[in-house]
Amino acid sequence: LPPGAEGTLQGRFVFRGSGETETTFSVRTYLGDARILQEEVKHRVTVFYPKFTVTPLHEVGSDALVVGGSASFAFAYENKEDEDVLDVALVLDPPATLFTTTKDSVVAHTRQDDPSLALVRKGAKGTLLFTVHTKTDIDRKEVFGDGDPIVRLPYTIRYRRASAPDREIRIDRTDDWKVASDLLMYAFGRYYTPEGDQIGRGPLPPRVNESTRYWVFVSFTNTLSDVADVVATAVLPPQVDWTRKSSVTLGDPLQFDERTRTLTWRLAKVTKFSGGAYPDVGMAIEVVLTPDGASVGTTPALLTDIRVRGRDTFTNTTIEQSVQSVTTLLTVDQRARDKGKVVR
């Protein structure tokens, strides 16, 4: 340090036990092996062990967070102090790498939104409900590093003892949550391939009482953990039939229930993405649309009620996803996207 230099040293101290204790702060310089005492300050402090307890209750919502979803859960509190406490606050600090804030989010409870926290009597108990929302698109490396998909959710407890209202007590803690995999599903229709090759057949735009064939594609991506016992289903709407032409990348062949017009695809497992190029996990089916006169001017659905369900093997959580119906609008098909409305 240059002559005359000034500065401030800050530190966090952990005291074992409670009661009055003497703390010594000393400043020394080192010359070779010699330690030269510059100054020593003794300070007596009263160590207080906080007894206002807060316990996370995962079972109120779930034992795991789901990417692209929400979770509601509670913290139970109890005032085990020997006196009443004032201005209790419990505030979550969800990491922005995983969580997003919406108008439905509840990440703090203070006396402003819950007047009962202004004064909590000795021995009083209660629960505080929180709601958090997770992002749909996350960077696994950024959020979890190379470890398991577990996120640390920091939270802070603040209050004052009635006998010392000018002194705020602050307790910082974290709660570990497992995160279920982000099994995402995509569905779209095509008349032309991305390269411009025609794979559909029949009039485009579709015409009343004439048949037009399209291909509908359903695919999955999965980043965090393996998902087992996967079942994907979709329903053929009126005026649409399956030509029995299809392709699946893995799993069982497609099954079709004539009565409910439901297509079902079962897969034992969709493995997590481990780097490189995303593996192709999906199915493709050819459908034929024969619109009636009531369909003129509309973009009929080709596949509806498209859903997937599976079990995350790390959290043992059931994951369910759904996507919008695929219609003749063909939003991803650059050549056919403006030719979806039925004409006479």
- Per-residue three-class SS string for the chain: CCCCCCCCCCCCCCCCCCEEEEEEEEEEEEECCEEEEEEEEEEEEEECCCCEEEEEEHHHCCCEEECCCEEEEEEEEEECCCCCEEEEEEEECCCCCCEECCCCCECEECCCCCHHHHEECCCCEEEEEEEEEECCCCCHHHHHCCCCCEEEEEEEEEEEECCEEEEEEEEEEEEEEEEECCCEEEEEEECECCCCCECCECCCCCECCCCEEEEEEEEEECCCCCEEEEEEEEECCCCEEEEEEEEECCCCCCEEECCCCEEEEEEEEECCCCCCCCCCEEEEEEEEECCCHHHECCCCEEEEEEEEEEEECCCCCEEEEEECCEECCCCCCCCCCCCCCEEC
pLDDT of 3: 83
CA gap 266, 232 in Å, rounded: 6
pLDDT of 61: 43
CA gap 286, 70 in Å, rounded: 36
User: What is the tens place of the pLDDT at every residue in 78-96?
Assistant: 999 999 999 999 999 999 9
pLDDT of 323: 92
C-alpha separations of 342 from 89, 103, 189, 236, 274 in Å: 60, 40, 16, 18, 44
pTM of this structure? 0.72
CA gap 155, 93 in Å, rounded: 6
pLDDT of 117: 96
Residues, the chain, total?
A: 344
pLDDT of 162: 95
pLDDT of 305: 97
pLDDT of 63: 61
Taking 70 as the pLDDT cut, the residues of the chain under it are 58-63, 274-279
